[in-house]
A and B are shown apart, each in its own frame.
Chain A
Amino acid sequence: MTTENGGDVRLAGISKTYGSFTAVKPLDLTVPQGSFFALLGASGCGKTTTLRMIAGLEEPSSGTVMLGDQDVTALPPYKRPVNTVFQSYALFPHLDIFENVAFGLRRRGIKSVKKQVGEMLDLVQLGEQARKKPHQLSGGQQQRVAVARALINHPKVLLLDEPLGALDLKLRRQMQLELKRIQTEVGITFVHVTHDQEEAMTMADTVAVMNAGRVEQLGAPADLYENPGSTFVANFLGTSNFIEAEVAGRSGEDLTLKAGDGKLVLPAARCTAATAIGGKVLVGVRPEKISLTHADDAGSIPDGRNRITGRVVDSSFIGVSTQYVIDSPLCDAFEVYSQNIERDSRLAPGAEVVLHWNPAHTFGLDAAQDIEAGAAKVEEDAAA
């Protein structure tokens, strides 16, 4: 056994079917040791099933699970050097906090657990609560007990199944930082399952976006956000605006596109679609990259920026920024987020405006996909 990749998780061709339903399509995934890895997706996308297959709680229909150099596919969960923080924690209600945390150590026949449990409870700042029962703790405290109970076993990999889902927003932010701190401190590989894109981006080094049983895209949070490879990723991670366009030509590193009567520029490297002249592409741009200028001042817009015209239909002031909805001939609900640095009072509903942005922030996608993919799912999830 080599120590360098002792904590790597390698899934090879792993899949899971229940009867005729395929929860996870054959999947290859490597989680490097010591990384904080997030599996992100809407409910039912197969992310939890994938996690449970790593834990051994679900038997894969095909493929292998490797931990470092060890093939653990056939091992039952109690023989795997992996621990899980369950959704809604699954703390043992009949045991106090101390015994909950000591459970794993005791099952492995370790007699003197007091020091280790004490240290672990201190790490999660629950030293005072050792003799309380789980139901006497708050949600955030229970969550920390669940983390301590798993971490005390020094697993090669810690699996977290929506661990923050039951907490309110403020506590969730706090626990995100806390978990990140603990991960940095102990250096164990974390695999974190979540449907919350902000949570995944805040905490993880690498995010795998899952959709309908397969990994749609994998990368660092900033890469995924700036260069989404599909409309699903573009919509699931934040918000995107799309314009249907046609490739008109090529100049150096850039593609020239024709959209309506206008002309847009897209760096060829940021286009994942085929770029033959005359081919269709979807041009995407994030709402916060766009600047709004009133049509009267259109002359002041510097050259070399992508620009389209439109009319403000809606604006909502949310403190740090104002969110505008713009109607344009190219796209009927363009979203623009504008920082409230110098507010132009003319930008009210009804105003004619010019939208413009740096072409470097444009991305191009294959036009043969659903523009709405991923967007509706987020709303459903929020409603659920």
Chain B
Amino acid sequence: MPFVRWLRRNLVVIAGLVTLGYLLLPNVVVTVFSFNKPKGRFNYEWQQFSLDAWTNPCGVADMCGSLSLSLQIALWATIGATVLGTMIAFALVRYRFRARGAVNSLIFLPMAMPEVVMAASLLTLFLNMGAQLGFWTILIAHIMFCLSFVVTAVKARVMSMDPRLEQAAQDLYAGPVQTFVRVTLPIAAPGIAAGALLAFALSFDDFIITNFNAGSTVTFPMFVWGSAQRGTPVQINVIGTAMFIVAVLLVLAAMLVGKRKNKAV
């Protein structure tokens, strides 16, 4: 039975390809429909090929404003969560202090708690404090829920670091600051970068918590949700596809840089 033999030999590859297809199919649909020219307001049925949306991505009222707001919030949330999360991770791994165990598990709470519950409680908190809902409340909420992801990513990296490397740096005339900048940080960098990317992605497309705490401010995910009630402009697909392409290009660039670095050696 040559077919069975062939199947046996290639089953892993086939399974991999099928899984990949399963993962990527939605993206393909988004991309294909970004070239659609829908009849009516809903972009749910294929009509005909068109570049209209691509040539005029900001053609929908308020969409690019909300996109820019989302990018700004994601950027600041990433910076805030990465800086705080990295410091927390170092503190948790390097120092023994009272309630360290408690902090260690509490850090995971935002990851474990249902988002809706957290969103509602945050709103209660903000309202009771008399805070004005908008950019700042969204940012505070995003930093909060991104923190635990950054802490987890960085902690894993710091834990696997050999403390002797820092001692070796000190032994070789590097003071505390130099040791941190020249040795600790570069070695922890992959963990920090992973945490930051995760924070950016989580913040950028968060809907539930943002929706509760945004007041009259509209982020990109909220815009998409809102417009879906009344009709879906093709530009949404354009933005989605563009984000996907940017992400893929970034990954490719990172891989190329990594390869060249290895080759140079």
Q: Is the CB of A86 within 8 A of B167?
A: yes
Query: 1/0 contact trace for B154-170 toward A, CB 8 Å?
Result: 00000000101101111
Query: 1/0 contact trace for B181-218 toward A, CB 8 Å?
Result: 01100110000000000000000000000000000000
Q: A143-172: which have CB < 8 Å to B? A: 149-150, 153
Contact for B170 among A78, A133, A150, A153, CB less than 8 A: A78
Contact for A90 among B168, B178, B186, B265, CB less than 8 A: B168
- Given the interface contacts A92-B165, A133-B265, does A57 sit within 8 Å of B171 by beta carbon? yes
Minimum Cβ distance to chain B for residue A272 (Å): 39
- Given the interface contacts A90-B162, A96-B265, A107-B174, does A57 sit within 8 Å of B169 by beta carbon? no
Contact for A107 among B164, B165, B178, CB less than 8 A: B178
What DSSP secondary structure best describes chain B's contact surface? helix
| A132 contacts chain B at the CB level, 8 A cutoff | yes
- Given the interface contacts A93-B187, A94-B186, A133-B265, does A103 sit within 8 Å of B169 by beta carbon? yes
Report, nearest first, the 8 A-B pairs whose CB atoms are least far apart.
A104-B172, A90-B164, A90-B168, A107-B173, A77-B170, A94-B186, A107-B174, A84-B171
Residues of B within 8 A of A131 (CB): 264-265
Q: Is the CB of B265 within 8 A of A153?
A: no
| A76 contacts chain B at the CB level, 8 A cutoff | yes
Residues of B within 8 A of A93 (CB): 165, 187
Contact for B173 among A57, A94, A108, A136, CB less than 8 A: A108
Residues of B within 8 A of A108 (CB): 173
Report the count of interface residues on B (CB-CB < 8 A).
20
Residue numbers of B with Cβ under 8 A of A are 162, 164-165, 167-175, 178-179, 182-183, 186-187, 264-265
| A231 contacts chain B at the CB level, 8 A cutoff | no
Closest to B186 in A: A94
Residues of A within 8 A of B173 (CB): 78-79, 104, 107-108, 153
Q: Is the CB of B167 within 8 A of A57?
A: yes
Q: Is the CB of A149 within 8 A of B162?
A: no
Sample 7 A-B pairs with CB under 8 A, ordered by A number.
A78-B170, A78-B175, A78-B178, A79-B173, A86-B168, A103-B182, A131-B265
Query: 1/0 contact trace for A46-78 toward B, CB 8 Å?
Result: 000000000111000000000000000000111
Q: Report the Cα distance A88→B164, complex, angstroms.
A: 9
Contact for A86 among B164, B174, B264, CB less than 8 A: B164
Minimum Cβ distance to chain A for residue B258 (Å): 12
Contact for A78 among B164, B174, B264, B265, CB less than 8 A: B174
Q: Report the Cα distance A153→B167, complex, angstroms.
A: 16
Q: Report the Cα distance A96→B264, complex, angstroms.
A: 11
Residue numbers of A with Cβ under 8 A of B are 55-57, 76-79, 82-84, 86-88, 90-94, 96, 103-104, 107-108, 131-133, 136, 149-150, 153
Q: Is the CB of B187 within 8 A of A78?
A: no
Minimum Cβ distance to chain A for residue B159 (Å): 15
Residues of B within 8 A of A103 (CB): 169, 172, 174, 182
Q: Report the Cα distance A94→B265, complex, angstroms.
A: 12
Most chain A CB within 10 A, of B168, B172, B182, B186, is at B172
Minimum Cβ distance to chain A for residue B123 (Å): 44
Q: Report the Cα distance A153→B178, complex, angstroms.
A: 17
Given A57-B170, A86-B171, 19 additional A-B pairs, CB 8 A:
A55-B171, A77-B171, A78-B171, A78-B174, A83-B172, A84-B167, A88-B164, A91-B168, A92-B168, A92-B169, A96-B265, A103-B169, A103-B174, A103-B182, A104-B172, A108-B173, A132-B265, A150-B171, A153-B173
Q: Report the Cα distance A79→B183, complex, angstroms.
A: 18
Q: Report the Cα distance A92→B264, complex, angstroms.
A: 18
Q: Report the Cα distance A148→B106, complex, angstroms.
A: 46
Closest to A96 in B: B265
Closest to A58 in B: B167
Residues of B within 8 A of A79 (CB): 173
Q: Report the Cα distance A363→B216, complex, angstroms.
A: 94
Q: Report the Cα distance A43→B154, complex, angstroms.
A: 33
Residues of B within 8 A of A153 (CB): 172-173
Residues of A within 8 A of B168 (CB): 84, 86, 90-92
Q: Report the Cα distance A104→B182, complex, angstroms.
A: 12
Minimum Cβ distance to chain A for residue B188 (Å): 10
Contact for B172 among A57, A87, A107, CB less than 8 A: A107
Closest to B166 in A: A90
Q: Is the CB of A149 within 8 A of B164?
A: no
Closest to A80 in B: B171
Minimum Cβ distance to chain A for residue B122 (Å): 39
Q: Report the Cα distance A307→B183, complex, angstroms.
A: 64
